[in-house]
């Protein structure tokens, strides 16, 4: 274990352009999925928080439950949808980065929506009364609250990014781990582990964790700066 | 009221999506085929050796999805690959017989070996695979099976049968089916000092050997034939038949056969071309 770790650390200095490409693909795929997930999940979560409709409790339970959607099941569903023999086979998207973005979007959207719903519901308790007195529509209330809670929502986005960039089950199935095309850091780790090259697998793992920490640090920095400036 | 900069987010998402979908614009110019193949060919590094030569010659880029033989044939059946390149002759002939493939052609062979702990508690070492398996079963020595419908798994089951070991009754705690690829099977065997059947290529490129060594090799029965099949364009109209066939033609051509023979790890040849003999 220690020997593997030492070998891994010494490997990190020797990463070639291929590793950088793999890392960039991981970031591009997961970043795209989180962006799309935000476009859908933020308004959805906020609307569920402010709207009053029958079955709202059930929607909340479902959103919360889908935070734990098994990646491999999502991968399987997207695989069957995009396969040439599936309903969307004509698009020819299986084993492409786009397929990976679709699968990860399905993974992170419920997560973003569920966390947004909780945050917005809490701030609705404080501000809802005055917003309703302004006779704003539900959608306007949702937008106002989203903006008001924007700094708290950063953690939802980071959680989604963490889930996307670290999962392997879905991208492996729908991407196929094709060298130079759909190989991400996590599928590369899986492959190197299978080949018994544990130091290289561990080195890639350390690299991924370092990048995730950097992304979180940068986001926290930007958040703190804008809170001082605009908060 | 201030609104979220939604348009900015959307166009950023679109830009990122585009970047993800087209990581290599230069390659998008030429044709790309998808080959469903086995972990043994991919993980041994053979494709890394062959594909650049083929692409240089024809301009056709090849994407390899590496799975077990059973899964690879399923990917072909669903039309998600243009070519399958696998090693389970019976399953391949069934695939062609059902009309999913055009024609099966021999490409090359390598061989299986039985690896196990150096101390060899079951006294399995030798040349005779049947005798080795009978001893392993007799000693109830730990054995790791792929259990994943791969070509290697199919071969393993054939060897038990040929050795006269009735797996239905002989199975016990000593025999573990892990349902994973060759690498994980070797990792498991290495971690638990168990015996396992593996193709030589994966073994040679496998790094986490621990106390394992090759104990049984050289039996003619351990011969492992690879075949290549074009997915039938009559079943799946989008199959890139011309480019796919050009890959098959190259594999069985003198050029391709020479490239296969030229792949070595630590001076050892992994795959032995035999296309002419088969086609």
Give the domain ranges of chain B.
Answer: 32-109+225-278, 111-222
Q: Which residue has the tokens 């075949």?
A: B227
A170 part of a folded domain: yes
A46 part of a folded domain: yes
A191 part of a folded domain: no
- Using alpha carbons, list the distances in angstroms from residue A10 to A5, A13, A202, A206, B178: 9, 6, 11, 11, 32
A133 part of a folded domain: yes
Distance CA B275, CA B279 (A): 6
How far A32 CA sits from the closest chain B CA (Å)?
6
Q: Could you give the angle at the alpha carbon of B185 between the alpha carbons of B183 and B186, nearest 5°?
A: 65
pLDDT tens for chain A, 231 residues long, are 677 777 777 777 777 788 889 999 999 999 999 999 999 999 999 999 999 999 999 999 999 999 999 999 999 999 999 999 999 999 999 999 999 999 999 999 999 999 999 999 999 988 888 888 888 888 999 999 999 999 999 999 999 999 999 999 999 999 999 998 999 999 999 999 988 888 889 999 999 999 999 999 999 999 999 889 886
pLDDT digits (tens, 9 = 90+) for B149-202: 889 999 999 999 999 999 888 888 999 999 988 999 999 999 999 999 999 988
Q: Quick check: B17 and A101 CB within 8 A? A: yes
Q: Phi/psi of residue B216, each to 5°?
A: -125, 125
Query: Domain B111-222: which CATH class?
Result: alpha beta
Q: How many structural domains are present in chain A?
A: 1
For B32-109+225-278, CATH number?
Answer: 3.40.190.10
- Using alpha carbons, list the distances in angstroms from residue B70 to A187, A209, B88, B91: 21, 35, 8, 8
Q: Quick check: A38 and B9 CB within 8 A? A: yes
This complex has an ipTM of 0.81
Distance CA B192, CA B183 (A): 14
* Contact residues, chain A to chain B, C-beta under 8 Å: 21, 24-25, 28-29, 31-32, 35-36, 38-39, 42, 83-86, 89, 92, 94-98, 100-101, 140, 143-144, 146-147, 150, 176-181, 191, 193-198
pLDDT digits (tens, 9 = 90+) for B159-174: 999 999 998 888 889 9
**Residue B27: band (very low, low, confident or very high) from pLDDT cuts 50, 70, 90:** very low
Q: What CATH number has the domain bearing residue A171?
A: 1.10.3720.10
Same CATH fold, B111-222 and B32-109+225-278? yes
Distance CA A69, CA A163 (A): 11
Asked if B205 and B45 count as a contact pair (C-beta separation under 8 A), the reply is yes
Structural domain range at position A44: 17-183
Asked if A72 and A169 count as a contact pair (C-beta separation under 8 A), the reply is yes
Q: Nearest residue of B to residue A101 by CA position?
A: B17
Q: Quick check: A178 and B65 CB within 8 A? A: yes
A228 part of a folded domain: no
Distance CA A119, CA B63 (A): 44
């Amino acid at each position: 274990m220690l020997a593997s770790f030492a070998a891994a650390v010494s490997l990190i200095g020797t990463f070639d352009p291929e590793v950088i490409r793999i890392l960039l693909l991981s970031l591009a795929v997961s970043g795209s999925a989180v962006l799309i997930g935000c476009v859908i999940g933020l308004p959805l979560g906020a609307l569920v928080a402010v709207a009053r409709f029958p079955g709202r409790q059930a929607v909340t339970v479902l959103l919360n439950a889908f935070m734990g959607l098994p990646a491999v099941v999502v991968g399987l569903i997207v695989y069957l949808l995009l396969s040439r023999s599936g309903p969307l086979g004509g698009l020819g998207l299986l084993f492409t980065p786009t397929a990976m973005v679709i699968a990860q979007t399905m993974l992170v959207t419920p997560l973003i929506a569920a966390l947004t719903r909780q945050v917005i519901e809490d701030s609705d308790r404080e501000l809802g009364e005055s917003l309703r007195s302004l006779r704003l529509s539900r959608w306007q209330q949702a937008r106002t609250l989203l903006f008001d809670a924007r700094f708290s929502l950063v953690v939802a986005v980071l959680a989604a990014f963490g889930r996307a960039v670290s999962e392997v089950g879905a991208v492996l199935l729908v991407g196929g781990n094709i060298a130079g095309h759909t190989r991400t850091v996590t599928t590369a780790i899986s492959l190197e582990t299978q080949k018994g090259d544990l130091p290289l697998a561990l080195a890639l793992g350390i690299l991924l964790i370092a990048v995730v920490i950097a992304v979180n640090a940068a986001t926290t920095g930007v958040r703190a700066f804008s809170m001082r400036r605009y908060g | 009221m201030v609104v979220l900069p939604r348009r900015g987010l959307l166009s950023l998402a679109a830009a990122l999506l585009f970047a993800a979908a087209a990581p290599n614009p230069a390659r998008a110019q030429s044709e790309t085929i998808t080959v469903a193949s086995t972990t043994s060919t991919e993980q041994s590094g053979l494709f890394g050796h062959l594909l650049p030569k083929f692409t240089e010659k024809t301009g056709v880029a090849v994407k390899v999805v590496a799975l077990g033989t059973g899964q690879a044939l399923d990917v072909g059946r669903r039309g998600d690959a243009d070519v399958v390149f696998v090693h389970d002759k019976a399953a391949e002939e069934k695939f062609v017989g059902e009309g999913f493939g055009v024609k099966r052609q021999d490409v090359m062979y390598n061989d299986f070996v039985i690896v196990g702990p150096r101390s060899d508690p079951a006294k399995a070492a030798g040349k005779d695979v049947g005798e080795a398996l009978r001893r392993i079963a007799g000693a109830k020595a730990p054995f790791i099976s792929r259990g994943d419908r791969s070509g290697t798994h199919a071969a393993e089951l054939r060897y038990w049968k040929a050795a006269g070991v009735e797996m239905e009754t002989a199975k016990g705690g000593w025999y573990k089916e892990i349902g994973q690829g060759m690498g994980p099977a070797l990792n498991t065997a290495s971690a638990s000092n168990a015996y396992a059947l593996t193709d030589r290529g994966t073994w040679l490129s496998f790094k986490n050997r621990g106390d394992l060594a090759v104990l049984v090799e050289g039996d003619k029965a351990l011969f492992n034939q690879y075949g290549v099949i074009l997915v039938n364009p009559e079943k799946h109209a989008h199959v890139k038949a011309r480019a796919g066939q050009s890959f098959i033609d190259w594999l069985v051509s003198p050029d391709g056969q020479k490239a296969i023979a030229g792949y070595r790890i630590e001076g050892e040849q992994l795959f032995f071309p035999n296309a002419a003999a088969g086609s």
